[in-house]
Amino acid sequence: MNHLTLKDMKIKSMLFIICFIGQSFIISAQQYAIDKKATIISGSGSLMSQGGDLFEDTDGNNATIVTITPTINHFITKNFFIGGGLEISVESQGNYSSNAIGIGPQIGYVFGAPHSTALPFLDLGIRYYKMNIDYGASDDYQFSGSNISLGFGVIIPVKTHIGLFFEGGYHMMDLKDKDNDDSYSGNILSIGIGIAGLLFNSEK
């Protein structure tokens, strides 16, 4: 007779919790995309290769940059959501490489009604960041800090449960060098496009 180990029990319990939460989002969702208890899962990504005299390093290597930004938002009342997001960025060029990951909560408000063909939104979020930079040999640096973002955009439903979103954002970053505690701050203005999954019970 097989006996479940503590590790197996933890894994099965975690899978059950994930499935239960996922089903709860769908079953308890209401009549339209931004109604109370509806959920929006969205994501965007980019792959960029930069070459030529302007971007190649001294050895002729191109720069490659990959970014992925998934988010999930749950409406606690009509139009108002709370959620969280993840940002992953990887860059490489010759011996140089860097990677950054940010994760954190966000809140926002979506303007619209049951039959709206466009859903403008505003959001405010914070991401806690870690960044590693490696120049090859023994030259590597580690940074950590925060990214406070103000976002705005619009979701365009193209199917009952699928939409396109266009978003702009203003980011205020503050990172600290792990080795010497030096702080660096900067601002970023971003524009992006992605796909959104609209989870609600359209059969009610």
- Domain CATH for 130: 2.40.160.20
**Residue 204 counted as domain residue:** no
The least confident of 76-90, 140-154, 178-192 is 178-192
First to last CA, the chain: 47
- Phi-psi map region of 37: left, alpha, beta (phi>0 left; psi -120 to 50 alpha): left
Averaged pLDDT for residues 118-138:
91
For the stretch 114-125, pLDDT in tens is 889 999 999 999
What's the number of domains the chain is made of? Answer: 1
Report the mean per-residue pLDDT for the chain. Answer: 85
**Residue 1 counted as domain residue:** no
pLDDT score recorded for residue 59: 87
pLDDT score recorded for residue 78: 94
Reference 38, options 106, 86, 110; nearest CA is: 110
**Residue 149 counted as domain residue:** yes
For the stretch 67-89, pLDDT in tens is 999 999 999 999 999 999 999 99
Check pLDDT > 60 for residue 93.
yes
Check pLDDT > 90 for residue 108.
yes
**CA distances to 65, 66, 189 from 48, in Å:** 5, 6, 18
pLDDT band at 24 (very low <50, low <70, confident <90, very high): very low
The least confident of 5-19, 166-180, 182-196 is 5-19
pLDDT score recorded for residue 179: 85
Averaged pLDDT for residues 18-41:
66
pLDDT score recorded for residue 156: 95
Check pLDDT > 60 for residue 204.
no
Q: How far apart are CA 144 and CA 127, in angstroms?
A: 11
Host domain of residue 26: 6-199
The dihedral formed by the CA atoms of 16, 19, 24 and 27, expressed in degrees to the nearest 10 = -130
Q: Is the pTM of this model over 0.85?
A: no
pLDDT score recorded for residue 28: 44
**Residue 123 counted as domain residue:** yes
**Residue 168 counted as domain residue:** yes
**Residue 84 counted as domain residue:** yes
